[in-house]
């Protein structure tokens, strides 16, 4: 699959899809508190898809088909956690919410990690550094750069702060499909492709950062939930970003 470049009209359509994603993440974030279940968050996300008349991007995706409209991953869960009415959020948890939609043929995708009540200083630092690494990656989305400049911006900031970057999962191009070329690793992969960034590329950049080692495992029970191998915390932030001659445009930020 080749990189698909978008014109300004297509980027505007992607902006519309991403603004829905942003709005839904805002609402889910306001719900997050001790005593709320991840299943309740999943139900609300499904209701909001109907309200906004958009198609959830994750529901039915993959093999086995993903069974929910939103990924909700708690504490040591890195990505792809499945909402569960039996999973009650507790004070001190951190919860990553990853959500995507298709609107009028174009996709939007974004993720945030939220604290549940008051969290530990270590958890606060992990979330802050992960969020900062994403902002540094966005700043690197210039047409004079290459993809590895984006990856390096994440990796250097994360590792300088004593954390590790997940290597099993990476970001991606996005457009008329949820996942397009190029893959966007959060580390410099010497074996990976390193295309020059060009006007019209749209990337879903999503640092997944672990408190401990970068190794992850996938639960055999649901074949989706990825968690840190060492049981330590993980945080995840994501934006869909258009690369333009005038500089990066964050489509999933209001």
Does the pLDDT value for residue 143 go beyond 90?
yes
> What pLDDT does 221 receive?
95
> What pLDDT does 240 receive?
98
Q: How many angstroms separate the CA atoms of 163 and 70, rounded? A: 26
Q: So where are the chain's domains?
A: 8-250
The backbone torsions φ and ψ at residue 106, rounded to the nearest 5 degrees and listed phi first, read -125, 150
The backbone torsions φ and ψ at residue 35, rounded to the nearest 5 degrees and listed phi first, read 95, -15
Indicate the average pLDDT of the chain.
97
Q: How confident is the model at residue 14 (pLDDT cuts 50, 70, 90)?
A: very high
Helices (H), 78-145: 121-139
pLDDT tens track for 157-185: 999 999 999 999 999 999 999 999 999 99
pLDDT tens track for 187-228: 998 888 899 999 999 999 999 999 999 999 999 999 999 999
User: CATH number of the domain at 8-250, please?
Assistant: 3.90.230.10
> What pLDDT does 169 receive?
98
Q: Residue 120: which H helix or E strand, with range? A: none
Edge-first strand order for the sheet with 171-173 is 180-184, 171-173, 202-205, 239-244, 247-250
- Determine whether 132 is exposed, middle or buried from the number of CB atoms within 10 Å of its CB (0-12, 13-18, 19+): middle
- Determine whether 63 is exposed, middle or buried from the number of CB atoms within 10 Å of its CB (0-12, 13-18, 19+): exposed
In this structure, what is the dihedral angle of CA atoms 13, 19, 20, 22, given to the nearest 10 degrees?
150
SS3 214: coil
Do 133 and 143 meet the contact criterion of CB atoms below 8 Å apart? no
SS3 151: helix
Q: How many angstroms separate the CA atoms of 26 and 77, rounded? A: 21
Q: How confident is the model at residue 1 (pLDDT cuts 50, 70, 90)?
A: low
How many alpha carbons fall within 13 Å on the CB side of residue 174?
A: 34
Tell me the Ramachandran region of residue 33: left when phi exceeds 0, alpha when psi lies from -120 to 50, beta otherwise: beta
> What pLDDT does 96 receive?
98
Do 38 and 83 meet the contact criterion of CB atoms below 8 Å apart? yes
Question: Among candidates 24, 100, 18, 19, which has minimal Cα distance to 62?
Answer: 100
> What pLDDT does 58 receive?
98
Question: Among candidates 249, 139, 156, which has minimal Cα distance to 209?
Answer: 156
pLDDT tens track for 22-50: 999 999 999 999 999 999 999 999 999 99
Above pLDDT 90, what percent of the chain? 97
Do 116 and 94 meet the contact criterion of CB atoms below 8 Å apart? yes
Neighbours of 221 (CB within 10 A): 8
């Amino acid at each position: 699959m080749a990189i698909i470049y978008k014109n300004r009209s297509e980027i505007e359509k992607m902006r519309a899809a991403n603004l829905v994603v942003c709005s839904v993440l805002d609402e889910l974030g306001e719900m997050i508190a001790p005593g709320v279940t991840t299943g309740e968050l999943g139900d609300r996300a499904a209701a909001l898809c109907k309200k906004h008349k958009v198609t959830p991007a994750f529901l039915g995706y993959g093999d086995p088909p993903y069974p929910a409209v939103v990924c909700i991953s708690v504490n040591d869960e890195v990505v792809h956690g499945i909402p569960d009415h039996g999973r009650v959020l507790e004070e001190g948890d951190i919860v990553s919410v990853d959500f995507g939609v298709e609107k009028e043929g174009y996709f939007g995708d974004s993720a945030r990690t939220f604290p549940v009540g008051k969290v530990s200083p270590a958890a606060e630092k992990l979330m802050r550094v992960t969020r900062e690494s994403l902002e540094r990656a966005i700043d690197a989305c210039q047409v004079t750069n290459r993809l590895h400049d984006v990856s390096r911006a994440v990796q250097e900031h994360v590792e300088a702060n004593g954390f590790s970057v997940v290597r099993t999962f990476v970001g991606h191009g996005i457009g008329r499909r949820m996942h397009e070329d190029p893959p966007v690793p959060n580390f410099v992969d010497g074996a990976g492709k390193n295309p020059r960034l060009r006007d019209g590329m749209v990337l879903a950049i999503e640092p997944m950062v672990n408190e401990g080692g970068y190794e992850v495992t996938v639960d055999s029970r649901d074949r989706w939930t990825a968690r840190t191998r060492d049981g330590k915390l993980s945080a995840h932030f994501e934006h869909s970003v258009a690369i333009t001659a005038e500089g990066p445009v964050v489509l999933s930020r209001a």
